[in-house]
Amino acid sequence: SPRLSAIAAVTGYKTNTPAMDFSETPMQDLFCANVFSKKVMQERLPKPVYKSLVKTIESGEKLDPTVADAVASAMKDWALSKGATHYAHVFYPLTGATAEKHDSFLSPDGEGGSIAEFSGSQLIQGEPDGSSFPTGGIRQTFEARGYTIWDVTSPAYILENPNGTTLCIPTAFVSWTGEALDKKTPVLRSMQALNKQAQRILKLFGHDDGAFVASTAGPEQEYFLIDRHFYFARPDLVNAGRTLFGAKPPKGQEFDDHYFGAIPERVLAFMLESERELFKLGIPVKTRHNEVAPGQYEIAPMFESANLATDHQQLLMTTLKRLAEKHGMTCLMHEKPFAGVNGSGKHVNWSLGSRSQGNLLDPGDTPHENAQFLVFCAAVIRAVYKYQGLLRAVVATASNDHRLGANEAPPAIMSVFLGDQLTDVFEQIKAGGANSSIAKGTLTVGVDVLPPLPKDAGDRNRTSPFAFTGNRFEFRAVGSNQSIAGPLVAMNTIIAESVDYCATQLEAATDGTPESLHSAIQVLLTEIMNECSSVVFNGDGYSDAWHTEAAKLGLLNMKSTPDALPYLQTPEVAELFQKYGVLSGRELESRLETYLEQYCMSINVEAKLTYNMAKTMIFPAAIRYQNELAATCTNLKMLGYDFDTDTLDEMTSLVKQLQDNVTLLQKKMDDAVGGGLIEHAKHCGEVVLPAMNAVREVADELEGIVADDIWPLPKYQEMLFIK
């Protein structure tokens, strides 16, 4: 059986990747080795060009197009020196994947030779044939023109391949009418919006140096590794990224013996090589460890500016996948590859800060600094409260639905964890009311210094979807397979709106003196906490009690993607994105449409796979075994033995159920569904998915009965434990 030969191949695995000599090139020499970094630019660009470019990168100033030719020429020379033959505009379509269009540097010179060419206009703009990327109705195929536009703020890099290297240029992807067809453009726009509003608060505090306030992101990526032989013996993994069948293994994760345990040698070899590659690309990976589930791991880079972190995150995912293959494994990024075993998330750590002011979510040492911290922190709380629905919608995918709300990941209810001390601070401010006198048990903004807030893992709450962790917020509901762009766009924009609100209130109420500012802040914070504190929750987010309580508090609880995505249609979301110039009405609609389509497609593919695998793999195995049992019974009877036919009866009944459930699934798949995409999505989630689960239930039961040597699919314990 394919399963048994897979096991044989796995246990006979011998590495074919030569050992690496780490002393040859030390890690610090590798960092950014393949990046057209500031250092390289400084070396290779004329001084004024370099200066102008850095201004654009660091302060968000408009790019001076006249520098493009000089930059392109330097970039080309640098790339050729690294052996590059091609350049590629890299862009990020709404599928969440990374797309590239490669062009050769070489042009024929008309004399039978060729010259390497790369002009400023080729650097700035490209025109990929992107007609088959989803655009949610923005672009018809007949007007397929889409442009890629150089993003100066994300450095170009070299991607190595044993057979040649490519210069990669991160770009935004827009339609010929200027609408964003990608995930990057809104990130850049939302960062601009946040900067603009944050400057107003900083100005009130006397910090008007204008240094760009960037949102920062540090994404922690969880993933599974399994041997490639198992992967290819499972059509469900190959086509859907998750197992659609598979009984729970006798030994799961209950021993917690994998968590932070020693990393297996083969996995470590993979990690070491990946980290080396990522370092060359300037991705500052920092931590690695085993995760809770067997076969599950985590990698986290140091935080960077949100846009760069987003591009790096995409690059990290493709690098891990590529190198896992090299080490004979497959890297599974799906949120729930194995039912009954913990799934994978991507915790997105978020903050905002500038070069001159540092991290704005770092509580300060003086009352004045604290006041500023409290304003930004309250703005975040208000944003989560007001736009819970949006935060839920941007993590809504078919695959993440299997994780959210299961007892391993945050619930679908959005709440903020502040920790006891900070909660106490805000409670005191709330109790202090509008007057700024020091009442008992209240804290006065601008007078009291906050107690130092714990930054260690002690004061952590792993069940909260949105947790303050000492100097940043951690959005934990993001799925492991997702681009972090969507969640970052949502966070940046809702917080920009909140900061705008705070700035407007404070500007109106202050006369410019610190006293008037502080009393205005006191009033503002009290008001915000009175309105929004129901979203603050420090308890166990997995508990039923919280679900009941949250419902009483009126917090949203959108359980599935078809519930959550339509929230993008609400007027408040459209207004929000329009007001801050992040997404036009049409751009927003196109995203809703694309994501609903993706949801339906995912479920449809899974349903077809379930049907096919049940029919062509599981049913045949079942009847083979049934036949064996029947033959045994017949023989025994002929010999005159008296016995029960329990197992045969059970098999026969399960085989019948399997057939019935498969037929039912087929029917549900063929149901004519009226209405629009939302109705289709609902049908997928509420009718097709349960029908798939019903097939799986019977199949998983059969897995526990059918003779082991006949069972065709690698079993959970094999995939998770044999490496």
**DSSP annotation of 453:** P
Query: In residues, how long is the chain?
Result: 723
Contact (Cβ atoms closer than 8 angstroms) between residue 237 and residue 399: no
10 is written with which tokens? 């796995």
Residues in contact with 331: Cβ distance below 8 Å, sequence separation at least 6, in sequence order: 223, 224, 225, 320, 321, 324
Least distance to Mg ion from the beta carbon of 117, Å?
46
- The angle subtended at Cα 471 by Cα 466 and Cα 477, nearest 5°, is 20
671 is written with which tokens? 């149901």
Least distance to Mg ion from the beta carbon of 347, Å?
4
| Residue closer to Mg ion (CB basis): 105 or 303 | 303
Size of the site for ligand ADP (CB under 6 A): 16
Contact (Cβ atoms closer than 8 angstroms) between residue 491 and residue 466: no
| Residue closer to ligand ADP (CB basis): 84 or 316 | 316
Size of the site for Mg ion (CB under 5 A): 1
Determine how β-strand 84-91 pairs with β-strand 165-175.
Answer: parallel
Binding span for ligand ADP by CB under 6 A among 91-99, 270-278, 327-335, 343-351 = 343-351
Instruction: Pick the closest to residue 234 from 710, 723, 712, 722 (CA basis).
Output: 712
| Residue closer to Mg ion (CB basis): 375 or 395 | 395
Residue 302 binding: pick among ligand ADP, Mg ion, none (C-beta 5-8 Å cut-off by kind)? ligand ADP
**197-216 positions binding ligand ADP, by CB under 6 A:** 216
SS (H, E, C) 118-178: CCHHHHHEECCCCCCCCCCCCCCHHHCCEEEEECCCCCCEEECCCCCEEEEEEEEEEECCC
- What CA–CA distance (Å, rounded) separates 112 from 103? 20
300 binds ligand ADP (CB under 6 A): yes
713 is written with which tokens? 């699919």
Contact (Cβ atoms closer than 8 angstroms) between residue 695 and residue 715: no
Contact (Cβ atoms closer than 8 angstroms) between residue 396 and residue 559: no
Least distance to Mg ion from the beta carbon of 491, Å?
15
Residue 471 binding: pick among ligand ADP, Mg ion, none (C-beta 5-8 Å cut-off by kind)? ligand ADP
268 binds ligand ADP (CB under 6 A): no
| Residue closer to ligand ADP (CB basis): 65 or 261 | 261
| Residue closer to ligand ADP (CB basis): 467 or 688 | 467
Could you give the 3-state DSSP secondary structure of residue 422?
A: helix
Least distance to ligand ADP from the beta carbon of 322, Å?
22
- What CA–CA distance (Å, rounded) separates 640 from 343? 53
Question: For Mg ion, what does the binding mask look like between residues 328 and 367, x meaning CB under 5 A?
Answer: -------------------x--------------------
Least distance to Mg ion from the beta carbon of 476, Å?
7
Point out the residue whose Cβ comes nearest to Mg ion: 347
Q: Which residue has the tokens 């210069």?
A: 167
| Residue closer to Mg ion (CB basis): 347 or 723 | 347
Least distance to Mg ion from the beta carbon of 417, Å?
12
- Residue by residue, DSSP assigns 24-37 as TS-HHHHTTTTB--
258 binds Mg ion (CB under 5 A): no
| Residue closer to ligand ADP (CB basis): 277 or 291 | 291
Q: How far is CA 269 from the centre of its chain?
A: 25
Least distance to ligand ADP from the beta carbon of 341, Å?
20
| Residue closer to Mg ion (CB basis): 457 or 638 | 457
Residue 275 φ then ψ, to 5°: -65, -35
287 binds ligand ADP (CB under 6 A): yes
Extract the runs of DSSP E, i.e. beta strands, from 386-430: 416-417
- What CA–CA distance (Å, rounded) separates 518 from 521? 5
Residue 707 binding: pick among Mg ion, ligand ADP, none (C-beta 5-8 Å cut-off by kind)? none
Binding span for ligand ADP by CB under 6 A among 275-283, 347-355, 417-425, 709-717 = 347-355
Question: For ligand ADP, what does the binding mask look like between residues 219 and 258, x meaning CB under 6 A?
Answer: -x--------------------------------------
In this structure, how many other beta carbons lie within 10 angstroms of the beta carbon of residue 343? 26
Q: Which of 434, 457, 638, 672 binds ligand ADP (CB under 6 A)?
A: 457
Question: For Mg ion, what does the binding mask look like between residues 169 and 188, x meaning CB under 5 A?
Answer: --------------------
Name the residues that contact Mg ion, by CB under 5 A: 347
Name the residues that contact ligand ADP, by CB under 6 A: 216-218, 220, 287, 300-303, 349-351, 359, 457, 471-472
